[in-house]
Structure 1
Amino acid sequence: MESTGKRFIGIDLSKRTYEAVAMTAETQTITRWNGKLDPRGLKCLMDKLNPGDIVALEAGTASFKIAKEMQSKPGVRVVVLNAANLAIIHAFLKKTDKEDALKLARLIQKYSPEELPVVPIPTDQEMERRALVAHETRFRQDRVRLINRLHAVFLRAGFPDHTKRQLGISDSREKLIIAELEGFNLVEAMNLHHMIVEYETILADLDKQINDTVVACGKDAEILLSIPGFGIKTTMAVLAYAGDMRRFENPAQLVNYIGFSLRLYASRNIERSGSITKRGNPQVRWLLIQSAWCMVQSKAPNPLKDRFEAMLKRGKAKSVAIVALARKLLELVYILLTRQEQYRFIDPDLYAIKLRRAGFAFVGAGSC
């Protein structure tokens, strides 16, 4: 990557400030500066960038927004790195903002982007979709925590027979609270019930927003929904976090990006694979695994379901086989979206029902 006139700039971001280190390709001169991440501080940062500079940032909350602003400056190249996969940063004993910025600068000087864990910079549309998926996930997880707390109240009051599934249903939940609890247990349970109802109202609104967003994606969403086990939320998560398939050269790159690639251990003549890397977004992996479970539990015949059953016959554990099937689903996503084809083994009647429920009957099949 070295050439005359280039600078290799590493920038470490915190919540309010940044630390930057610039190294010249010829003289190895190191220049440091820092500033705030407010509009004035960012303008000063942009003014210091020159055509030919190569900038490295750690992936984080503000990284993508700042990276886009830097990319708008002519001649500046920006790479966003996943620091969790850079042991030189996360496992180093001396960890300061200045040291991390220097390490980033040295990394992009020594290695090409193909050799580094580069995170693709999402578009504004993808950022909005990711924010929506993350927002819904947080509210859903908080609702589960509240139900767990309510279940603990019933256990404390001496009612161990009520399941969390029962307490997740609004009508039966309120009746059980009023009929069986008293004193402070009743007060606490009713407070939790009202909080759960508020969360359910918000989640219903978020589900509608997700559904409308998926429908607006047109043909890409229709293709993903043709895959058995795929629902609105899985489709939304894949479109939000994988995005445009043209950024990946093959299915293996997409699998690695989402975190389904297997770790490889090699020593002399011995090679073996380990667990998956879990590099990408955990919500996407969880939804793909849930989709895989839906597929294998379906009565409809499917080659992928047959593949799962064959793995079980060979002695694979269900937990291992289902992750392998989820990885295969992700490879299928790449193939179908790249070819713009629907899954050929889908039941036409079930597929039509799925599209009607989502609202595709009223939307043209435009591209996302």
Structure 2
Amino acid sequence: MKDDSTLYVGLDVHKDSITVAYAIGMSEVELLGKVGTTEAEVDRLCKRLQSKAGRVSVVYEAGPCGYGLHRNLVAKGLDCMMCAPSLIPRKPGERVKTDRRDAIKLVRSLRAGDLSAVHVPTVEDEAFRDLARAWSAAREDLKQARQRLKSFLLSHGVHYLGRANWGPAHRRWLSTFSFDSTWQQLAFNEHRRTIEDRLAQCERLEVALREAVVDWRFFPAVLALQTMRGIQFTSAVGLVSELGDLSRFEHPRQLMAWIGVTPSEHSSGAKRRQGSITKTGNSYARKLLVESAWSYRHPARVSIDIQRRHEGIPKAIIDRAWDAQLRLCRRYRKLVARGKSAHVAVIAVARELVGFIWDIGRLGMTLAVARSA
């Protein structure tokens, strides 16, 4: 029978089953058992939970099953949270892990307020992110295919005298080279064909991204980020698709921590010890960020390519991007002059770059809304 208490529910979700545990208010945690993952079985579960209390709060770990269950539960009126698995409290020395224990632990942690929620994107944002990740995966496949071909040539003592950077001269040399053995030539041709297929795939996906991004709600943020040095179209699309709505971060320090570029710390008493960056959160966004930060090791300037990306962008955004370039280039030089290694300096620049991305991305969305109003 319903009452005014809150029903806390923990779900241990797998592909074919969901283990359910619950507690009403501060009472003991009870195990409800296992249910299926079909829509009909989830509907029956929701009705059973809603019959026990007036307010139902559900939590489960983010995992490979996506956001479908979360959206389904929210649509049925349940308060649902996906939590970060790496931030769930764990007892030292705990050696037994079962679905039942995980579900009960989630109930207790939810009731204590010890869980960190994972941002759930909209259906449209998730679809665009999938397209951006497909392009990233294709680029990674292309990189691996090129490395396999280089390794194949090296293992047979074949050396290219120039720079093997896949430029026009390097590609012409590959197209004219041949092995004496028919079998080796066949393997060589297959390696080259794989590279050509991956190149074609990357081109198709990039064209699709350029066509789709125009209708995406974060298109103004993508345009605004491209005014910055080191952030071209693909980098801007990758960053915005992974970061999502920048307005959900009240301060740039929150975004820095989310990407994982803040220093780790182990302090006690009067001692304060900071170490390397935490590397928590989104690894792909962090990778794009660090790649962009390397461009600030050179003196500040506005190249022809950056000028082209400035066309049609409000002056306030362009001025902010120039401020970022001046500050970050100066920051890199100062750190190197103090004896810091290039890698340490670039990570420090990347951390400050996050603040400018947060500011310029939000500014781009704000100005776009003001124009449309």
Given the two structures, how large is their TM-score scaled by the length of structure 2? Answer: 0.82
Residue 138 (structure 1) aligned with residue 162 (structure 2): no
C-alpha deviation, 1:63, in angstroms: 4.0
Residue 60 (structure 1) aligned with residue 63 (structure 2): yes
- AA aligned to 2:103 is A
Contact persistence 1:148–1:164 (CA under 8 A): no
Q: Which residue of the partner structure matches residue 353 of structure 2?
A: 329
Please give the alpha-carbon distance, in whole angstroms, between the structure 2 residues aligned to 1:321 and 1:174: 38
Structure 1 residues 41 and 364: CA distance shift in structure 2, 3 A: same
Residue 176 (structure 1) aligned with residue 150 (structure 2): no
Structure 1 residues 299 and 335: CA distance shift in structure 2, 3 A: closer
Pairs within 5 Å for 1:64-79: 64-74=67-77, 76-79=78-81
Q: Deviations over 1:62-107 (max 9, x none)?
A: 2422112211222x21121111233518984212222211111111
Please give the alpha-carbon distance, in whole angstroms, between the structure 2 residues aligned to 1:67 and 1:245: 22
SS at match of 2:253: helix
Q: Deviations over 1:120-154 (max 9, x none)?
A: 11111221122122212222212222212111211
C-alpha deviation, 1:18, in angstroms: 1.9
Q: Which residue of the partner structure matches residue 221 of structure 1?
A: 222
Pairs within 5 Å for 1:181-260: 181-183=179-181, 184-216=183-215, 217-260=218-261
- AA aligned to 1:45 is L
Contact persistence 1:83–1:89 (CA under 8 A): no
Structure 1 residues 239 and 273: CA distance shift in structure 2, 3 A: same
Please give the alpha-carbon distance, in whole angstroms, between the structure 1 residues aligned to 2:162 and 2:115: 48
C-alpha deviation, 1:190, in angstroms: 0.7
Please give the alpha-carbon distance, in whole angstroms, between the structure 1 residues aligned to 2:90 and 2:253: 25
Structure 1 residues 46 and 205: CA distance shift in structure 2, 3 A: farther
Residue 310 (structure 1) aligned with residue 334 (structure 2): yes
Q: Which stretches in structure 1 are left out of the alignment for 5+ residues?
A: 343-362
C-alpha deviation, 1:195, in angstroms: 1.6
Q: Deviations over 1:175-203 (max 9, x none)?
A: 52652423222111111111221111111
Q: Which residue of the partner structure matches residue 104 of structure 2?
A: 102
Q: Which residue of the partner structure matches residue 346 of structure 1?
A: none
Residue 47 (structure 1) aligned with residue 47 (structure 2): yes
- After alignment, is 155-164 or 257-266 more displaced? 155-164
- AA aligned to 2:329 is K
Please give the alpha-carbon distance, in whole angstroms, between the structure 2 residues aligned to 1:145 and 1:88: 38
Q: Which residue of the partner structure matches residue 317 of structure 2?
A: none
SS at match of 2:343: helix
Q: Which residue of the partner structure matches residue 24 of structure 1?
A: 24
Contact persistence 2:22–2:32 (CA under 8 A): yes
Contact persistence 1:58–1:80 (CA under 8 A): yes
SS at match of 1:15: coil
Pairs within 5 Å for 1:322-361: 322-340=346-364
Q: How many residues align?
A: 340
Percent sequence identity over matched residues? 22
Structure 1 residues 317 and 28: CA distance shift in structure 2, 3 A: same
Please give the alpha-carbon distance, in whole angstroms, between the structure 1 residues aligned to 2:187 and 2:231: 38
Structure 1 residues 45 and 178: CA distance shift in structure 2, 3 A: farther
Structure 1 residues 219 and 138: CA distance shift in structure 2, 3 A: closer
Q: Which residue of the partner structure matches residue 310 of structure 2?
A: none
Contact persistence 2:239–2:288 (CA under 8 A): no
Q: Which stretches in structure 2 are left out of the alignment for 5+ residues?
A: 302-324
Given the two structures, how large is their TM-score scaled by the length of structure 1? Answer: 0.83
- AA aligned to 1:132 is L
Structure 1 residues 142 and 269: CA distance shift in structure 2, 3 A: same
Contact persistence 1:57–1:63 (CA under 8 A): no
Contact persistence 2:89–2:109 (CA under 8 A): no
Contact persistence 2:57–2:79 (CA under 8 A): yes
- AA aligned to 1:65 is G
Q: CA RMSD in A?
A: 2.9
Residue 288 (structure 1) aligned with residue 289 (structure 2): yes
Structure 1 residues 42 and 18: CA distance shift in structure 2, 3 A: same
Contact persistence 1:11–1:55 (CA under 8 A): yes
